[in-house]
Amino acid sequence: MSNSVTEQLTEKGRAIEHGSFAIVDAEAGEHGWPDDAWQVVRRMVHATADFDFVTNAAMSDDAVTAGVAAIRAGAPIVCDVGMIAMGLSQPRLRHFGCEPHVHIADADVIEQAKAENTTRAVIAMRKARNLIHGGIVAVGNAPTALLEVCRMVREDGIRPALVVGVPVGFVSAAESKDEAALLDVPFIVCKGRKGGSAVAVAALHALLALTEAGQQRDAG
C-alpha cells in the first residue's frame, strides 16, 4: 500500500510500537479474546494505558468482519466530534476511500438544536442519517449521539455497517453503551463510564490495520 502508516514509521518508531504491544500482551495475560478482536481491544489499552478495557470492552461476533468489509468498500465514517476525524490516519483513509464526516459544528445543526432544545450531537446524527445507513458510526464523546443512533436503528430502519460506541462521561454514557450493545447491528462498545475519542480512534485504527493486512495477504 503506497504511503501507508507502516511505511511512514521509522525503524525506531516501529520498535517502540511493537514493544508497547508486547507489554500489553504480556500484562493482559490470558484474556479470552479471539485474535482479530484482540487487535481492537489491545489498541484501546495501548491508547489509554488502561487495562480495564480488556474486560469492559464488548463487541458483537461480527464486529471485526463487518468493520473490515465496510472499510474495504470505502464506507463513510460518521464521527460525533472532530477529535475522532482528526485522529484517524489520513493515508489509510485515502487508500480505502473512506471519508470522515462531522456535523456537530455545522451552522444548521446548531440552529436546529437550539430550536428543538436538544443537543447538537442528536441533530448532527440526524443530518448524517444517509451516511450512517451502510456506514461506520464512531461516537467517543456524546452519549446523546449514540442514543440517537440507537433510536434510528430501532425506529427508522437505519442499518449502520458498524457502530463504535465508546462515549466517556457520567450522564447517560454507560446507559447509551448498554443500549448500543442490544442493537441487531454490528457494534463495538465499552461498558461503564470510560471511553473517549482516543478509544474510538484506537478501535478504528485497529480495523484499518486489519484491513490493510488482509489486502497485503490477498496480494500475496
Q: Which residues are catalytic?
A: 46
Rounded CA-CA distance 214/217 in Å is 5
The C-alpha cell at 181 is 450493545
DSSP letter for 133, please.
T
Looking at residue 182, its amino acid is: L
Q: Provide the 3-class DSSP secondary structure of residue 10.
A: coil
| Cα dist from 30 to 34, 65, 111, 125, 154, whole Å | 11, 23, 50, 38, 36
Taking the CA atoms of residue 123, residue 124, residue 130 and residue 131 in that order, the dihedral angle to the nearest 10 degrees is: -160
Rounded CA gap, 6 and 14, in Å?
Answer: 8
Count Cβ atoms within 10 A of the Cβ of residue 157 and give its class: 0-12 exposed, 13-18 middle, 19 or more buried: exposed
Give the closest residue to 197 by CA, choosing from 215, 162, 173, 161: 173
